[in-house]
Amino acid sequence: MDVNFTLEVGQTTESIEVKADAPLLDTASASLGQVVDTRRILDLPTFGGSVMTLVQLAPGVINTTDMRLAKSGSFSINKNSQIATDGAGTYNNEFTLDGVSNTQAEGGSTRVGFIPPSAAVAEFKVQTAPFDASSGHSVGAVVNVSTKSGTNQLHGQAEWALRNSLFDAPNIFQNRAGQKPPHYTDNRWGIVAGGPVMLPKLYDGRNRTFWFYGYGGNKFGVPQSFTSTVPTLAMRGGDLSALLALGPQYQIYDPKTTVDIGGGRFQRLPFANNIIPPERLDPVAQKILSYYPLPNQAGNRDFSANYFYTPSAKEDTWDHLFRIDHNLSSNHRVFLRAHTDFWEENKNHTFPDTIATGIVLNRHNKGAAFDDVYVFNPSLLFNFRYGVEFGDFLERRNSRGFDLSTLGF
């Protein structure tokens, strides 16, 4: 019996083989470092939203300060800058943004100038010594942050985070003074977006021109606590007799009774019962005393530390970043980036409802960068890059403009 088979040509199959080879030795660079990519920036938690806290993922980098207030924006450029690498010490690092210097020098220390919103960061690299010829200005590390650019598709992201003192309980000191926790609200928000430049019926920027924008804002309060010494109601009227119970060293003397007893020595008579007569009280001093609150706790036996207050330092910060990329040709690309941020801190209101205490701090940063890359051939390219970074740090006292003549001067 014969059985006939018809054989057909089978389908072409494709196989993929994955191999894990040892990485080649990098002979083009002498520096060591760690790249933190977009996925880690978006997935890893960052308290306060500051991407700069992730620099500690790099080997040899340690934190040298309390990072609880390490936030993005202009508020915490100091805390985000307090890192040490490979034993080089704090404030010895260089910060760059898109390859352009992003470092501010103040009082012998170097600090990061502008911290972009984390959603606007593509990646960053921490380079530790030794450096090659492309890096310098530092004996520590170089932290180079790269911002995102737009693509052919419109993409965006919005975020909001909230903390509130309504969820907190008073601590032991607030309970003892009969006070509630200082009010604070940590309200942080931001938005980023990017895409091609599209002008209907005029210009189609797909594959050529792209825009990207990032914005972040943060209003919050930093709880503070003050223990101080204020005069009691009796002391305001000149009655310091309660201090005599602690010993004769608390006796006060009348300066008008000073007499020369010879030998370079002088002597005064004590106030009777440690009470200054009302007519001897200076009227200017009495007006100044009106700016002091009354004691709100027992304090020590000598009436020191009889005042406790927990105000909140009010913080307000925002930042803007704008970038535009343009492909002049397949081998010629340019981009322009501009950024600005603002921070205001209203703090140290030791005494409530008075202008006697309190200070307002402001910091305003501005910067811009331009980058031009032209590729002549696969082994030769030209890169021109220029940028500026400016920071203005201002402060004013809460008592600014106060008329001293109202005190009697």
Phi, psi of 162 (to 5 degrees): -140, 135
Are 241 and 221 found together in one domain?
Answer: no
Please report whether residue 264 resides in a domain: yes
Per the listing, tokens 């036996």 go with 301
Shared domain for 301 and 314, answered yes or no, is no
- CATH code, domain with 89: 2.170.130.10
Q: Which of 255, 286, 305 is the last residue of a domain?
A: 305
347-375 pLDDT, tens digit each: 998 888 888 899 999 999 999 999 999 99
Mean predicted confidence (pLDDT) in 167-172: 83
289 pLDDT higher than 90: yes
In a domain, 25, yes or no: no
- Report the C-alpha gap between 238 and 278 in whole angstroms: 7
Of 253, 278, 305, which closes a domain?
A: 305
Q: What are phi and psi of 151, to 5 degrees?
A: -130, -175
The residue ranking higher by pLDDT, 292 or 185, is 292
Indicate the pairing of strand 312-329 with strand 332-347: antiparallel
Q: Confidence class of residue 12 from pLDDT cuts 50, 70 and 90?
A: low
Asked if pLDDT for residue 303 goes beyond 70, the answer is: yes
Residues 48 and 131 in one domain: yes
Whether residue 15 is contained in a domain is answered as no
Q: Are residues 105 and 172 in the same domain?
A: no
219 shares its domain with 170: yes
Distance of CA 76 to the CA centre of its chain: 1
Structure tokens at 275: 């009470």
- 44 sits in the region (left: phi over 0; alpha: psi -120 to 50; else beta) called beta
Say if 16 falls within a structural domain: no
Same structural domain for residues 222 and 242? no
**Which range of residues forms the domain containing residue 215?**
158-226+310-407
Residues 153-176 have a mean pLDDT of 86
Inter-residue contact 93 to 56 (CB < 8 Å): no
Any residues with CB less than 8 A from the CB of 140 and at least 6 apart, and which? 84, 85, 86, 88, 89, 92, 93, 94, 128, 129
Same domain assignment for residues 270 and 189: no
Please state whether the peptide bond connecting residue 248 to the residue before it is cis, i.e. omega within 30 degrees of 0. Answer: no
The residues near 316 (Cβ < 8 Å, ≥ 6 apart) are 218, 219, 343, 344
Per-residue CA distances from 132 to 5, 170, 338, 373 (Å): 70, 54, 28, 20
Contact 165, 177 (CB under 8 A): no
Nearest Cα to 178, choosing from 291, 14, 296?
296
Co-location of 282 and 357 in the same domain? no
Structure confidence by residue, pLDDT tens digits, 114-149: 999 888 999 988 888 666 666 767 788 889 999 999
- Among 4-13, 64-73, 184-193, top mean pLDDT goes to 184-193
Q: Left (φ > 0), alpha (ψ -120 to 50) or beta: where does 49 sit? A: left
SS3 string, 110-179, reads: EEECCCCCHHHEEEEEEEECCCCCCCCCCCCEEEEEEECCCCCCCEEEEEEEEEEHHHCCCCHHHHHCCC
Within a domain: 395: yes
Taking the model in full, what pTM does it have? Answer: 0.77
Average pLDDT, the chain: 87
Q: Is the pLDDT of residue 331 over 80?
A: yes
The letter for the amino acid at 165 is S
Question: How do 203-204 and 198-199 pair as beta strands?
Answer: antiparallel
In three-state secondary structure terms, 320 is strand
- By the 10 Å C-beta count (0-12 exposed, 13-18 middle, 19+ buried), 362 is classed as middle
Residue 18 lies in a domain: no
Reply yes or no on whether the pLDDT at 379 is more than 80: yes
Query: Do 240 and 179 fall within a single domain?
Result: no
Q: Do 50 and 162 share a domain, yes or no?
A: no
Q: Is residue 394 part of a domain?
A: yes
Boundary residue ending a domain (100, 128, 147): 147
**Same domain for 111 and 39?**
yes
Q: What share of the chain is helix, strand, coil (3-state, %, to 5)?
A: 15, 45, 40
Q: Give me the number of domains the chain comprises.
A: 3
Same domain flag for 403 and 376: yes
